[in-house]
Amino acid sequence: MSFSTLSPNSYMLLHLLAFIGPDGIDKAILVKGLKLYNQGEEFDFLSDEIDLVSAETELLQASLIDKSTDSAFLSIHPSVQNTAIRKLSDSDRSQYFDASVRLVTCGFPNTWREDVGHQFQTWAKCEKYLAHVNHLVKHAKAYSINPMTPQLYGELLLRYLYEREWYTVAQDFVDIALETFENKTSLAFASAVDLSGLIDLDMNNPSNALVSFNSALSIRGTLLGPEDPLIASSFNNIALSYTETGDLEKAYSAHEKALSIRLRAETRVDNTYSNMSSLLLQMGKPDEAEEMMQKCPALKDFTDDSFINTGNPRYVGNMVLLSRIRLDQGRLDDAMRFASKALTFRQKLQGNRLKTCDSLYDVADMLVREGRVSSAV
């Protein structure tokens, strides 16, 4: 298979497609991604519709790529991908790999320079780009590629898979990111460490998580100072670790530090109030837990719809919390109503993931309390 007769633009397009794909390649990825960065004049043809169509047509005529008739998405056979990559020099592999990383980066939110909370609104877009990230990782391993911009590659691997509860893949990506980052004192590296801790926390390794959270806090504190919302996020995560290890007083103290920063910054106070409410419930104080939850500006009315209509998995987590508060208060019917609605939401949005299992357990436990053992099973 020879590519020597291709025009320069077609040659470059082929090698960009070789690293992403192989299926469902939207040309918008090519145009939008490289516009975000000063990638070099050789890629200017991507922003010229006539030049891009010309390069695409040449590859189609050479049967090196395909194009769907319904969606106009491009695809490239894996054997063509591998041949194209294998024929490149090491330096050219790094160049095209780097350009492909920049292409795919536009599909994911920046979650390491500010405390932006849950990114459920971006899930659909992330799903579209995730297959391309998987192929970048696969090619980087197979050909021992050294990224020209390791920081950007590391940043690409963060966050989304954790929110979707794909923990095994997320941990693999985080491990690669931690190895890739050259700057071990950057905010992105701190977020990778922090994310590793969140995965450990959800996988019931709170002691390991605490080490990661403290490391992330140290880096962020050096770069940002004590009043930045990312510092509050670190204290919040440290508090969650202490909660899971049973150090409840330390947990409450860390939550207070987070709340103090967030109140002054006027950001994400709902998150801290909710976590403090959960902690008070664990302390055996359901009434105080409810009072704390009532301080959440977004949840003050406590209607079922106020939780569900946001579409935010974090707010539905508050519905689960309120259900558990009602259960401890002896209000079983209310507890069951909230728990059942939360379960329905989680099954629809997240499928059979850990948080869905938590809700299944809550509902089953309440069914047993009602004497409906067969339904619980």
- Comparing 18 with 161, the larger pLDDT belongs to 18
Structure tokens at 50: 């006539």
- Could you tell me which CATH number the domain at 1-87 has? 1.10.10
Average pLDDT over every residue of 125-153: 84
Helices then strands, counting H and E runs in the chain, come out as 20, 2
Average pLDDT over every residue of 31-53: 73
Alpha-carbon span 324 to 289, nearest angstrom: 10
Query: Residue 160 — very low, low, confident or very high, per pLDDT cuts 50/70/90?
Result: low
Closest alpha carbon to 63 in 96, 8, 14:
14
Task: Give the DSSP per-residue string, 62-115.
Answer: TTSSEE-TTT--EE--HHHHHHHHHTS-HHHHHHHHHHHHHHHHTTS---SSS-
Query: Residue 134 — very low, low, confident or very high, per pLDDT cuts 50/70/90?
Result: confident
Omega before 22 cis (within 30°)? yes
CATH class entry, domain 268-377: mainly alpha
Query: Residue 41 — very low, low, confident or very high, per pLDDT cuts 50/70/90?
Result: confident
Choose the most confident range, by mean pLDDT, from 40-44, 46-50, 253-257.
253-257
Q: How many CA atoms lie within 13 A of 134 on its CB side?
A: 13
CATH 1.25.40.10 residue ranges for the chain: 107-254, 268-377
Does residue 36 surpass a pLDDT of 60? no
Task: Specify the range with the lowest mean pLDDT, choosing from 33-42, 51-60, 138-147, 256-265.
Answer: 33-42
* The pLDDT value given to residue 184: 92
Does residue 162 surpass a pLDDT of 60? no
Asked whether the whole model's pTM tops 0.85, one would answer no
CATH architecture, range 107-254 = Alpha Horseshoe (1.25)
* The pLDDT value given to residue 118: 45
Average pLDDT over every residue of 60-79: 89
Q: Give the Cβ contact number of residue 193 at 10 Å.
A: 24
Alpha-carbon span 302 to 14, nearest angstrom: 55
Q: Could you give the angle at the alpha carbon of 219 between the alpha carbons of 216 and 221, nearest 5°?
A: 105
Average pLDDT over every residue of 360-364: 92
Closest alpha carbon to 107 in 82, 80, 81, 134:
134
Does residue 94 surpass a pLDDT of 90? yes
Average pLDDT over every residue of 139-143: 92
- Comparing 173 with 143, the larger pLDDT belongs to 143
Average pLDDT for the chain: 85
Does residue 122 surpass a pLDDT of 60? no
Bridge partners, 67 (sequence order) = 74
DSSP annotation of 183 reads -
Average pLDDT over every residue of 200-219: 96
* The pLDDT value given to residue 120: 45
Average pLDDT over every residue of 5-13: 92
Alpha-carbon span 108 to 119, nearest angstrom: 10
* The pLDDT value given to residue 47: 80
Reduce the DSSP state of residue 116 to 3 states and report it.
Answer: coil
Q: Give the Cβ contact number of residue 142 at 10 Å.
A: 11
Reduce the DSSP state of residue 328 to 3 states and report it.
Answer: helix
Does residue 131 surpass a pLDDT of 50? yes
Does residue 71 surpass a pLDDT of 90? no
Alpha-carbon span 48 to 27, nearest angstrom: 12
pLDDT above 70 as % of the chain? 85
Average pLDDT over every residue of 147-163: 72
Dump pLDDT digits (tens) for 268-306.
898 899 999 999 999 999 999 999 998 988 776 656 565
Q: At what angle do helices 354-369 and 313-328 cross, to 10 degrees?
A: 20
- Comparing 261 with 146, the larger pLDDT belongs to 261
Structure tokens at 141: 């391993």
Query: Residue 24 — very low, low, confident or very high, per pLDDT cuts 50/70/90?
Result: confident
Contacts of 37 (CB under 8 A, 6+ apart): 102
Structure tokens at 109: 């939110």
